[in-house]
């Protein structure tokens, strides 16, 4: 790919004095991501409907990012050896990179995706300045006139935090003076009814939750220690540093809703069913083509789970206050979720099977316990112990899968209308990372994969999208029969 990066002229920043009272420790997963064993970055492509005027973008970003401590801090070790956030002034020119694109590169239909994939294996960011960059590509693609690519170290925050910050930089396209709608999901608060039936139901719910938690934690511990997915779908040691390919496909959220109503489930039930059906089609075709005997492999996904009291996205004012309901950072635990790739009688059955697995996961406190466990290990032994266990969980499973909420309506980023959003993560020791990113009634299924293991990752995305269309047809037919 013939291109090079031309950064704007850098201005050296002033080193801040180290004040103990200004220290704030890294969260458990923040510390895990901030080390050479994993060193993970969040990559976000924002497609825009107009070319980017770089000076205007700088003026728009400066006040937003300067007020957020994570984007104006660096990580340093304190006197006791723990990693802490330390405030430091930044110059925005150090973080904005304008990409010069050759005429040869302009012939590539997926240039933005290829460029973003190179960032997945790019050298680490300079630790002496805040750990984020914005790459500007004034390049016309199939979906956008220009793109900006955010490269943000994962220790700064998870996708909920970063998407909330992105929303703070946007306004509605229909009402340029109005903030976008913030979709927060509150936990349902039930008023207790002190009847015998209610008491028995509460006891059963507690017992079932404890049982599911015990089973899931034993499964997670086994995965950390010895249980591995099949080699036919799991990458080798060191796969995290292999060159990457990035692909994505757009689906309609109304199609998801149609299937969701048919199975009386959730969006995650449908998307997980899509993955199951898509993986079956992709892997069975791959191994039949190579003349091997196809057998059902063990495929499991490591799923980050938001453990904030208030789910969904949040206003930046709420997150900066660092409240319990909407705190900034990496506030998530993990599920280890089986992805069934057995052939089913109907395509809707893939979603039904996924729904059963997810029901058991949602009933447990697996994610909360794992977060607490990593926090205790971090406090007792430093970052090495939780990082080693997280790395083993990643290398022993097939993929990471995450569902990322985006803006409900169409928005404009610093006055430039947004056409699409693509979110992914790099630096993880796995051969496949899958995200489901929603935006304004549409969603993208996004796959970042090691190109030597998934040279046709575009086909995997297409297989999953095709599975959704077949599920929708079955759901519509089922509703006609019942109606």
Rounded CA separation 22/375 (Å): 21
Q: Is 264 among the residues known to form the active site?
A: no
What is the DSSP pairing of strand 170-172 with strand 411-413?
antiparallel
CA distances from 120 to 74, 140, 152 (A): 21, 22, 11
Asked if 262 and 475 touch (Cβ cutoff 8 Å), the reply is yes
Q: For the range 18-26, what are the long-range contacts, defined as Cβ-Cβ under 8 Å and sequence gap of 24 or more?
A: 18/76, 18/86, 20/78, 20/79, 22/86, 22/87, 23/78, 23/84, 23/85, 23/86, 24/69, 24/84, 24/85, 25/82, 25/83, 25/84, 25/85, 26/75, 26/83, 26/84, 26/85, 26/155
Residue 262 is inside which H or E element, if any?
helix 253-263
Given 68, 95, 135, 154, the catalytic residue: 154
**Token pair in block for residue 34:** 């901030």
Tallying the residues shown for the chain, one arrives at: 483
CA atoms within 13 A on the CB side of 280: 16
For 347-415, list the strands marked E by DSSP.
Answer: 399-404, 411-413
Beta bridge partners of 444: 250, 437
Asked if 247 and 460 touch (Cβ cutoff 8 Å), the reply is yes
**Token pair in block for residue 95:** 């973080």
Residues contacting 479, CB < 8 A, separation 6+: 261, 262
Q: What is the spatial order of strands in the sheet that 83-87 belongs to?
A: 24-25, 83-87, 73-77
Closest CA to 148 of 43, 42, 1: 43
Catalytic residues: 154
């Amino acid at each position: 790919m013939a291109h090079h990066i031309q950064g704007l002229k850098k201005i050296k920043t002033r080193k801040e004095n180290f004040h103990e009272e200004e220290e704030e420790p890294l969260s458990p997963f923040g510390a895990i991501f901030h080390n050479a064993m994993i060193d993970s970055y969040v990559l976000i492509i924002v497609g825009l409907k107009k070319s980017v005027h770089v000076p205007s973008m700088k003026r728009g970003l400066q006040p937003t990012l300067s007020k957020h401590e994570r984007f104006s801090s660096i990580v340093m070790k304190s006197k006791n050896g723990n990693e802490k956030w330390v405030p430091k002034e930044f110059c925005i020119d150090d973080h904005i990179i304008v990409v010069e694109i050759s005429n040869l590169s302009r012939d590539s239909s997926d240039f933005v995706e290829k460029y973003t994939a190179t960032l997945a294996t790019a050298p680490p960011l300079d630790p002496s300045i805040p750990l984020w960059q914005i790459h500007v590509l004034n390049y016309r693609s199939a979906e956008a006139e220009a793109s900006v690519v955010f490269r943000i170290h994962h220790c700064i925050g998870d996708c909920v935090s970063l998407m909330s910050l992105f929303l703070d930089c946007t306004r509605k396209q229909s009402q340029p003076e109005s903030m976008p709608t913030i979709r927060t999901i509150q936990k349902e608060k039930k008023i207790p009814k002190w009847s015998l039936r209610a008491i028995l139901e509460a006891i059963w719910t507690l017992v079932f939750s404890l049982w599911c938690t015990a089973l899931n934690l034993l499964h997670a511990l086994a995965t950390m220690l010895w249980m591995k997915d099949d080699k036919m779908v799991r990458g080798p040691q060191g796969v995290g540093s292999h060159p990457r390919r990035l692909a994505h496909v757009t689906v309609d959220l109304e199609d998801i809703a149609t299937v969701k109503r048919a199975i009386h489930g959730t969006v995650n039930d449908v998307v997980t069913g899509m993955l199951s059906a898509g993986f079956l089609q992709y892997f069975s075709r791959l191994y039949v083509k190579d003349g091997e005997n196809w057998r059902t492999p063990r495929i499991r996904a490591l799923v980050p789970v938001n453990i904030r009291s208030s789910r969904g996205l949040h206003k930046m004012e709420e997150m900066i206050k660092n409240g319990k309901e909407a705190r900034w950072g990496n506030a998530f635990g993990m599920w280890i979720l089986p992805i069934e790739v057995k052939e089913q009688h109907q395509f809707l059955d893939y979603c039904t099977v996924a729904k059963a697995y997810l029901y058991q996961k949602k009933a447990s406190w697996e994610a909360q316990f794992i977060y607490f466990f990593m926090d205790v290990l971090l406090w007792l032994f430093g970052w090495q112990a939780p990082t080693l266990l997280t790395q083993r969980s990643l290398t022993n499973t097939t993929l990471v899968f995450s569902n990322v909420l985006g803006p409900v309506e169409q928005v404009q980023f610093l006055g430039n209308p947004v056409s699409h959003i693509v979110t992914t993560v790099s630096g993880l020791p796995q051969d496949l990372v899958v995200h489901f990113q929603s935006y304004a009634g549409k969603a993208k299924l996004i796959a970042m994969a090691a190109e030597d293991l998934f040279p046709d990752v575009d086909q995997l995305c297409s297989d999953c999208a095709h599975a959704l269309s077949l599920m929708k047809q079955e759901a519509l037919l089922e509703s006609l029969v019942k109606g």
